[in-house]
Amino acid sequence: MGRGWRPILAGGAVVVGTFVLAKATVFAPSTSSTSTLTGDTASGKKVFAENCSGCHGDGGQGGGVGPTLAGSGLDAATVSAVVEHGRGVMPPAIVAGQEQADVVAYVVSIATSSQ
């Protein structure tokens, strides 16, 4: 086998390695890591303004590419699952850990307060 194959073989190995790593998602936030955390609505409001309002509008009132959250009636489990795993154009894991718990608490508060 000539030297000309070396870049192709090495590149192919890196592609396979990247794919395996991507499928493993070794640092993906897990549900168990955040389910025991208690969310703070006030902190969640700040996290939401910084990370979510661009798509869901100020206070989740809509106006961006994301759905209106205020008054939507979403529960904590649903919000947490969407934050962790994404949905449609929304990427997963925009926030994680305590910030995730906080923003979930805040979204649930606006989702249920206007009903």
User: Residues interacting with another protein, by CB under 8 A?
Assistant: 3-4, 6-8, 10-15, 18-19, 21-30, 32-34, 50-51, 54-55, 64-65, 86-89, 91-100
Q: In angstroms, give the least distance from the CB of 54 to another protein.
A: 5
How far apart CA 82 and CA 10 sit, in angstroms, is 37
Which is closer to another protein, CB of 24 or CB of 113?
Answer: 24
Q: In angstroms, give the least distance from the CB of 33 to another protein.
A: 4
Q: In angstroms, give the least distance from the CB of 115 to another protein.
A: 28
8 A C-beta contact, residue 89 and residue 98:
no
Structure-token match 């949905």, residue found? 87
Which is closer to another protein, CB of 34 or CB of 72?
Answer: 34
Inter-residue long-range contacts of 88-92, CB under 8 Å, 24+ positions, other chains counted:
89/65, 90/55, 90/66, 92/28
Token pair recorded at residue 108: 């649930």
Which is closer to another protein, CB of 65 or CB of 73?
Answer: 65
